[in-house]
Chain A
């Protein structure tokens, strides 16, 4: 950790699952606990770090988030909050799922929290049939099974069809 602070101007290369390479300032990469642990151990900054689970589109978004938070770490929290809400605004569900997976893999807690919250907000107060549509989840219940599960959770259906 100490060495990384001394070498703020160093850059490292991240490689997405689809082969795109991203040159990233070290202090930006350090927003990710995964990368921080790698840099603290034996990985040299000269190496290309592969991120096989993250496609280039998602990695670009993740690094955009990291840069803002790395550069603004000493500025006002309110500014970062408005950036966060704007960052996820109008993002489609597929991109949100990719983002939450990437944040989970790269261990970027702040991004993971806001992305998970955004997904939760999308389905909050929605009937379960609508949740199925939003998530593209197939109903694997028979009508009888679904009725039984609904009966188990009847208390939660007040005000719902």
Chain B
């Protein structure tokens, strides 16, 4: 049977009558439109005047409204064309989503401030390569939030933490001058691998939860020292392994932990290597030790 049909098809296939879209009756065009996303249908109005007429069909937009927004509760009985209702709710959603996003960003920024204050008090450079925190936050599936937190970086053997752009109006208390704390890096650190870090409870003794952690007070001497180097564009500090562990624990509570391989790469191992020789020189402006080298990472 099918063979016969195929032979018929092959016999006649040479002369197909050209059929254009305009040959289709209105109900078929509406059926095709009903299979399209709503913004595609709205754009179809720009193709030609006939499609504009069809792309405004009330039943079509009622179908799309119910499909997208589920019910008509939020319309409060307004007497509008269904396309107008749809557009209204669409725009409302667009206006609403950034507000939620901004609020979540604000909450997360508070977390950052708290963490920075903690870091300032403990003089801790977190062992995250540039981009690692950003990646983790950016991948957050919970709120689709891209928190523009710029992670620490290494410039001329100094670990530099820069403020995120959206915190520029905040006080800048975390500029801490390094006063000569030695870092005791283990042999494993020289090879670029992460020191064994136990995910221990945080300083407060409980895991940090986004949006609910207390903001730690900043000590006055810290602020004073911070002011002393206020002209410096970067924040400089060093730390010991114990404080590294604490910050690792803190960050691992906030974000999903990375593997050791992901956490420590390039610039950070370089820092540890140089610090194992003695002391990180810092707080002498941009012309400290290693001034002959070019910065590895620039903002």
Contacts and interface: CB of A to CB of B under 8 A. Distances in A.
B9 A124 contact: no
B21 A28 contact: no
A132 B47 CA distance: 6
Interface residues of A, number: 54
A156 B38 contact: yes
Given A116-B35, A117-B35, A120-B35, A139 B48 contact: yes
B71 interface: no
Contacts of A155: 39, 42, 87, 90-91, 94
Chain A interface SS verdict (over half): helix
Nearest to A21: B8
Contacts of A126: 40
Contact of B19 (A61, A94, A116): A94
Contacts of B22: 135, 137
Q: B17, B32, B49 — which one has the most chain A CB atoms within 10 A of its CB? A: B32
Contacts of A144: none
Interface in B3-38: 4-6, 8-9, 12-13, 16-25, 27-28, 31-33, 35-38
A119 B19 contact: no
A56 B41 CA distance: 33
Given A56-B12, A137-B20, A153 B42 contact: yes
B60 to A, nearest CB: 13
B298 interface: no
State the 5 A-B residue pairs at the shortest beta-carbon distance, nearest first: A156-B42, A135-B21, A120-B35, A156-B39, A60-B9
